[in-house]
Amino acid sequence: YDWVGWRNDSLGWAGKPVEMVFEFDSVRNFSSMVLHTNNMFSKDVQVFVHAKVFFSIGGQHFTGEPVQFSYMPDTVMENARDVTIKLHHRVGRYVQIHLYFALRWIMLSEISFNSAPVTGNFSDEEVNGNSISQENSIEYPLQRDESGINIVNKGERNHVTQSKCTTSLISPKPIDQEPEPHFVGVVIAALTTIILLLIVIIMFIVAKNKRTRTAAVLDALQHNLHTDSLGIDKRLNSNFKVIISGLFFSFF
């Protein structure tokens, strides 16, 4: 993959996230989007910690409640990965994405959308008090720096008309959540522990059975040795007398 990156300490637009605007050939119904992103955290590159997705019909005003998504930072595996954001069948011709930094760099190689055309009459949005710039100035504190770069996405004639980058200082409440690698690790550790406990229990039962059988054999041997140590000599003479160790017993 070819990578496009944004650095949060570049000179530029301070206090705002990375912004990308995608323009489509018609109004579409969006179910999800997939971003292929780098996570080489040892080089200060990590998956964005939070994303906001806005929709617009005319492309001038991105009003309305955005789709929000938070990603749990992965500091174990450095491999690149696809991050899927569910868009809940939102409708628009223009899609604006805000990405917030987890480390110094955000690096993307490909962005794709799952969508379908929508037929009907749609009017452009009107300016209101919930515009993006006003929302960001109220909700987010000042961040450090940002830089801009344009990228072109492969597939569905999507292209970026604007891009910016900044550092996010807070992590808003998640809406869509990726499966957490840490949770998977906890489950694997728990299953491993259970398996080890079962092995220990089975070994304990086997050892106990062996000790029981050994004790029974030793008891039998001791009983035989005790009987032989009495020196009992049983014989019958011609007069049906029992001779036991020199003692005579007559049956008549």
Contact in structure between 147 and 40 (CB atoms under 8 Å): no
User: CB count, 10 Å around CB of 71?
Assistant: 26
The H or E element spanning position 244 is strand 241-244
pLDDT at 189 over 80: yes
**pLDDT band per the 50, 70, 90 thresholds, residue 9:** confident
Q: Which amino acid is at 4?
A: V
C-alpha torsion 127→132→138→142, nearest 10: -140
CA gap 12, 19 in Å, rounded:
13
pLDDT tens for each residue of 128-179: 544 444 444 333 333 333 333 333 343 433 333 343 433 333 333 334 444 4
Contact in structure between 98 and 18 (CB atoms under 8 Å): yes
DSSP 8-state assignment for residue 177: E
pLDDT at 243 over 70: no
CA gap 222, 39 in Å, rounded:
72
Query: pTM of the prediction?
Result: 0.51
pLDDT tens for each residue of 24-57: 999 999 999 999 999 999 998 999 999 999 999 9
Residue 195: what pLDDT? 94
Residue 192: what pLDDT? 92
Residue 38: what pLDDT? 94
**pLDDT band per the 50, 70, 90 thresholds, residue 241:** low
Residue 75, classified by CB atoms within 10 Å of its CB into exposed (0-12), middle (13-18) or buried (19+), is middle
Residue 176: what pLDDT? 45
Assigned token pair, 3: 């990578």
Contact in structure between 105 and 46 (CB atoms under 8 Å): yes
Residue 51: what pLDDT? 94
pLDDT at 244 over 90: no
Residue 12: what pLDDT? 66
Assigned token pair, 212: 């029981």
Residue 59: what pLDDT? 84
By mean pLDDT, which of 35-44, 81-90, 175-184 is the weakest?
A: 175-184
C-alpha torsion 198→202→207→208, nearest 10: 100
The structural domains of the chain, ordered by start, are 4-178 (2.60.120.1190), 187-244 (no CATH)
The H or E element spanning position 248 is strand 247-250
DSSP per-residue string spanning 31-54:
EEEEEEE---GGGTB---SEEEEE
